[in-house]
C-alpha cells in the first residue's frame, strides 16, 4: 500500500512548527526588512535541523494513525475483512495503530498481520464457494510459478512460511498485477464463506467424487506428493518440491469446478 504523500505532508507540518518556533525570535531583532529576511531564513534552517530529526518521526506516526483506516479501506482484502470478519479487523487495526505509535519495525508488523490473515483464510476456505477456492488456488499457482522462475529456493519458502520470520521478502517479488489478484482472491474467499457458505468436504465425499483418481498423475508422483510435508535441506530437493506442488495443482485446476473446488477446500479442512 503506497503512502508516498505522507512524507510531504509531515514535512509541511514540520515547516509550520519550525516557523512558529522561529517567529518570536525574529520579532525581537530590530533591523531592516532585508536583513530580517536573511536572519529569518538562517534561524529557520537552524530550527529545521534541530526539530526535523526529533519531530518528523512522531508526526509521521501521528499522520499514519489518523489516516490508516481510510487507507486500508482502499484495499479490497481489508475492506472484506472489515465487513465479513469484523472482530479480526478491529484486532488488526488496533495492532497496526499500536505498532505505528510505538515505531515498530515494519517487517515485524507485517508478519503479525500475515498470521491474522492466514488464520482467517484457513478457517474460511473449507466453507467458501468452489469458485472462490479455485480463484485462490490459481493465485497460489501463479505465485509459485513466478518464484520458481526467479531461481533459488524462494518458491519452497513460499510454501513453508513457517521458515521465514516475515513474508515481505516474498511479497516484494510479486508484480503489481499479481498482488492485486491476491488481494481479490482473499477477499472473495471471505465474502463467499459468509454469503454463500458450503459444507466442508468430507473424506467420504472425496472418495465418492474420485477427485484423486481423475487427476491421472503418474503413480510415482504421488510418492513425491505424500513427501511434500517432509522438510528439505538441499536446493535440489526444495525445487523438486515446488515442481511436484505445481504439477499437482495445475492438474487440479483442469478439473471441473465442483471437483477442483472440492479438492482445494478439502486441503484446508484438515482432511
Cell of 89: 479487523
Cα gap 264→137, rounded to integer Å: 7
Q: Please name the residues in contact with 195: beta carbons below 8 A apart, sequence gap of 6 or more.
A: none
What does the pLDDT read at residue 216?
Answer: 81
What does the pLDDT read at residue 20?
Answer: 43
* Residue 125 DSSP label: G
User: For the chain, what percentages of helix, strand and coil (3-state, to nearest 5) are there?
Assistant: 75, 0, 25
Length of the chain: 271
Q: CA angle, 179 as apex, 174 and 180 as ends, to 5°?
A: 150
Q: CA angle, 152 as apex, 151 and 155 as ends, to 5°?
A: 85
- pTM score, whole prediction: 0.75
Cα gap 72→89, rounded to integer Å: 10
What does the pLDDT read at residue 8?
Answer: 36
CA dist 120 → 73, 110, 171, 190, 210 (Å) = 18, 15, 19, 8, 29
Closest Cα to residue 18, out of 67, 52, 60, 42? 52
Give the distance from CA 209 to its chain's centroid. Answer: 35
Q: CA angle, 132 as apex, 191 and 205 as ends, to 5°?
A: 115
Cα gap 149→155, rounded to integer Å: 9
Residue-level pLDDT, tens digit, the chain, 271 residues: 333 323 333 334 444 444 444 444 444 444 455 666 666 666 666 665 655 665 666 667 777 778 878 888 888 999 999 999 999 999 988 888 888 788 766 566 666 777 788 889 999 999 999 999 999 999 999 999 999 999 999 999 888 877 876 666 787 889 999 999 999 999 999 999 999 999 999 999 988 988 888 888 888 888 898 888 899 999 999 999 999 999 999 999 999 999 999 999 999 886 4
Cα gap 82→75, rounded to integer Å: 11
What does the pLDDT read at residue 200?
Answer: 95
Amino acid at each position: 500500500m503506497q503512502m508516498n504523500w505522507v512524507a510531504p505532508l509531515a514535512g509541511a507540518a514540520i515547516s509550520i512548527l519550525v516557523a512558529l518556533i522561529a517567529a518570536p525570535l525574529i520579532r525581537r531583532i530590530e533591523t531592516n526588512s532585508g536583513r530580517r529576511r536573511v536572519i529569518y531564513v538562517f534561524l529557520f534552517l537552524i530550527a529545521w535541523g534541530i526539530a526535523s530529526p526529533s519531530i518528523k518521526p512522531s508526526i509521521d506516526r501521528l499522520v499514519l494513525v489518523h489516516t490508516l483506516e481510510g487507507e486500508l479501506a482502499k484495499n479490497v482484502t481489508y475492506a472484506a475483512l472489515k465487513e465479513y470478519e469484523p472482530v479480526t479487523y478491529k484486532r488488526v487495526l488496533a495492532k497496526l495503530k499500536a505498532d505505528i505509535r510505538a515505531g515498530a519495525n515494519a517487517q515485524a508488523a507485517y508478519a503479525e498481520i500475515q498470521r491474522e490473515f492466514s488464520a482467517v483464510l484457513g478457517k474460511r476456505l473449507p466453507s467458501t464457494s468452489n469458485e472462490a477456492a479455485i480463484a485462490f488456488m490459481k493465485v497460489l499457482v501463479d505465485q509459485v510459478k513466478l518464484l520458481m522462475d526467479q531461481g533459488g529456493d524462494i518458491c519452497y519458502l513460499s510454501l513453508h512460511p513457517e521458515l521465514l520470520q516475515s513474508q515481505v521478502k516474498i511479497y516484494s517479488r510479486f508484480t503489481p498485477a499479481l498482488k492485486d489478484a491476491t488481494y481479490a482472491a482473499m477477499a472473495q474467499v471471505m465474502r463467499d464463506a459468509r454469503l454463500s457458505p458450503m459444507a466442508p468436504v468430507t473424506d467420504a465425499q472425496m472418495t465418492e467424487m474420485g477427485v484423486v483418481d481423475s487427476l491421472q498423475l503418474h503413480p510415482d508422483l504421488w510418492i513425491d506428493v505424500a513427501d511434500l510435508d517432509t522438510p528439505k535441506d538441499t536446493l535440489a530437493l526444495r525445487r523438486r518440491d515446488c515442481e511436484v506442488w505445481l504439477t499437482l495443482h495445475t492438474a487440479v485446476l483442469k478439473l471441473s469446478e465442483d471437483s477442483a473446488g472440492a479438492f482445494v477446500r478439502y486441503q484446508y479442512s484438515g482432511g
